[in-house]
Chains A and B, each alone.
Chain A
């Protein structure tokens, strides 16, 4: 009987050509479009640290502070000019190795530039250095603040060091030789500047987007299986009512119905993985482990669908909405649409982050790409397996002991 149901379910899947077309068409089109949109990130240098734009106000600065700060500016930045159309500050020279692009302005203009987002921050040079910027919770410009703050701290530290050394020389603790000033200057200039390693993101970090879409596609079968429970519940479809007459356990019938779906989506996700490889997205060399993770993700997606389908006795419309909406939300929370969201969820709702299966698959793929050991991978596999078992148990709970007196 098991083989019989599986065979006919497979035939039904294959012969429903419209559904089969969309099942195959959907992921292929989605990853193709995703690749085309994101390949710019993979191939270009654009996903990297851009110099921080600042307005410098020196009105209250003493002459010696001014000279020191100008030396500092020459060392860490390039001058810029405010864009006439209120765009960001434009560098006057190549900002290749610069941390900042700066323009010297009066306080009112600095405020205007800051208000219009033409510069990230305003720096007032005086006895102490004051940095003013907008508070933004989660964006790359917010992170600019850390870089700028660290740079300005260095300036203050250099000032302190110069002052201490002058004092040491005056007290006779050190005896400056003829080339003392040159040596001190060389030591201050020993900083290698912005390192190439610091500048750009590593490829694996850009690949997070692709890991997330693979994670989403493994959970996506949920949208199909959320309705498949109806095919074995006698009060939800005529075919189920008819097949229920056969003396065959419901759970066996359920697994016989679901097996072809598992096979179909597992093959499909393998195709997607190899297809992305053909497109030029390199997921690393651990293909076997990746495929196991994708299979586990697919199973989780399928049984999450059946769990929702069996537990929620609402209309098919609601189930469909949940089947479409839940994987999308999970993908959104794992950073598929904006990587900042992933960090925000991790910081603000860590529990949600830990149980999100799309995030688990994403992190599993990341660990396979970036880690030399497999400990993290196996931990994720275990967490995903627990999730899968819970989904299966919930499905069985939802399916068992249904009464059909009033079909």
Chain B
């Protein structure tokens, strides 16, 4: 147990570093959970339309159209410059910008014209652009209906009355209600959050464990330990046990943060133990891989680069940040040589598992594959350490 104790003694000198890493990743993790956490409000959150209108026509029809838009959307006042418009669309200050050209009113009233020309631009938020486009189309459609009702031409003396009628008709209301479901929506957030823990575990383990492990593998420290009579096998076992214990503590810490945000009652859900199981096996597999690479590297200077590349590359290719459906098949195939993609797939499978006829065979298979990877990397690490020991001797 001397190596076990020594590991923690060495680690004690980097407590501040570990806490700094933990703090940074805890903040990131907190934002992720906040971003996906469902609201408990009874009213349904519907994003209000934000539309900017530039009316070059100033006709009664265009004014009525603008007034209708103002009743159904927040009209954003923008400077009529490209930069202001682009900024508003990019920043989400406006979701739709409508430019009413001169002659719009005449075109709308023209019996031969079925769709008056409008210039519109949507924002990066495709859904909100579509919703705003609906508002515009609805007005034009209703106007055309009234035009046809009057035989293709709205009489001039009836125009104002018709425009008022259109505005009244377009007051169509839809009532909305927020669904207060059981644990299901929280479970899907739990699944996403577990996926993010994979990234944090990879980044933390490679950065935090690595530094201490490299110090322990310093030739002088190693020689001193061997001279003191500790068998190499016992020393390796002690180090592995210490890294495992430390990883478990980190993992539990992350899970406590996770459940404290989402509610500890989720632990009672039948899917929670499976998610925890997958997460634990993933953590063990990552620990084995990190141990192998750190043993291979032995260079503290390279550790920071390694941990950043390793954690980001693994997470991006394994579907932690971007859903797996967006990742190309060859990339997924390459990523399947690492445990994270299996953990992400297992999580997705658990979250979408039917309650009545659950089939956890894929989850077992994924955990088995991850354990096999852990064993393989552990063996590789042992072989590497053995060969290094010979060279020291």
**Which residues of A line the B interface, CB within 8 A?**
18-19, 22-23, 25-26, 29-30, 33-34, 36-41, 44, 46-49, 85-87, 99, 111, 114-117, 122, 128-140, 142-147, 149-161, 164-165, 168-169, 173-177, 180, 183-184, 186-188, 190-192, 194-195, 197-202, 205, 208, 223, 314-315, 317-318, 320-326, 328-329, 332-333, 337-338, 340-341, 343-347, 363, 366-367, 370-373, 375-376
Contacts and interface: CB of A to CB of B under 8 A. Distances in A.
Nearest to A332: B28
Interface stretch (B128-136, B238-246, B259-267, B274-282): B128-136
B41 interface: yes
A92 B106 CA distance: 43
The 10 closest A-B pairs by CB, nearest first: A156-B172, A317-B17, A143-B127, A325-B24, A321-B20, A150-B134, A157-B172, A22-B305, A146-B131, A135-B39
B313 A29 contact: yes
Interface in B167-194: 168-179, 181-182, 184-185, 188
B145 interface: yes
B354 interface: yes
Contacts of A314: 16
Contacts of A315: 14, 16-17
A264 to B, nearest CB: 14
Given A19-B301, A117-B184, A317-B14, 18 more contacts: A34-B312, A115-B184, A134-B38, A134-B181, A135-B39, A135-B40, A136-B39, A145-B45, A146-B47, A153-B138, A156-B172, A174-B151, A190-B114, A314-B16, A317-B16, A317-B20, A324-B304, A376-B87
Chain A, interface SS category: helix
Contact of B168 (A133, A142, A159, A160): A160
A150 B20 contact: no
Interface string B286-322: 0000000000000101101111110011011100011
Contact of B308 (A26, A140, A146, A346): A26
A133 B44 contact: yes
18 contacts: A41-B326, A44-B326, A49-B126, A132-B177, A132-B179, A133-B176, A134-B178, A135-B40, A136-B39, A147-B127, A149-B174, A151-B134, A153-B173, A161-B166, A194-B130, A325-B20, A328-B203, A370-B90
A344 B132 CA distance: 21
B105 interface: no
Interface in B119-163: 122, 124-135, 137-138, 140-142, 144-152, 158
Contact of A137 (B45, B90, B150, B321): B45
A358 to B, nearest CB: 13
A376 B178 CA distance: 40
Contact of A145 (B37, B46, B355): B46
A35 B135 CA distance: 38
A80 B271 CA distance: 28
Contacts of B301: 18-19, 22
Contacts of B24: 321-322, 325-326, 328-329
A318 B352 CA distance: 41
Given A187-B145, A324-B308, A332-B28, A48 B126 contact: yes
B107 to A, nearest CB: 14
Contacts of A201: 124, 126
B339 interface: no
Contacts of B152: 183
A142 B47 contact: yes
B44 A131 contact: yes
A130 B177 contact: yes
Given A318-B17, A329-B27, A18 B313 contact: no
A26 B303 CA distance: 11
A95 to B, nearest CB: 14
Given A34-B316, A187-B147, A325-B21, A317 B211 contact: yes
B142 A198 contact: no
B90 A366 contact: yes
A326 B44 CA distance: 36
A150 B131 contact: yes
B353 A86 contact: yes
A26 B188 CA distance: 34
Contact of B145 (A177, A188, A200): A188
A143 B185 contact: no
